[in-house]
Amino acid sequence: LIQRFKKTTYESTQIKILKLFKKWIEMFFYDFIDDDSLKVTLSDFLDRDIRNPSHSTYVSDIREAFKNQNDVAFISNGPVGVT
């Protein structure tokens, strides 16, 4: 019972964090515009640390949000680096 609780809590916490990353990108993309290390850190986190196959949809959503915001920043401000 305790192991099931830990697993359920762990997974729900991961999902909440992934949703938070997506919101951060959607609402505060300017944090990423000039910070290449932040982009690399986020990308590495998504590539290395999120291994649960059931979270792949969230990872795809984050990457898509990043791409969409990057496209908007490019149109508004000129080229923006992407990692």
What does the pLDDT look like over 14-55, one tens digit per residue?
899 999 999 999 999 989 888 999 999 999 999 998 888 889
Strand locations in 1-83 (E): none
Element (H, E) at 6: helix 2-27
> How far is residue 71's CA from residue 74's CA, in Å, rounded to a whole number?
5
> How far is residue 2's CA from residue 36's CA, in Å, rounded to a whole number?
41
φ, ψ dihedrals at 10, nearest 5°: -60, -45
Residue 83 confidence (pLDDT) above 50 = no
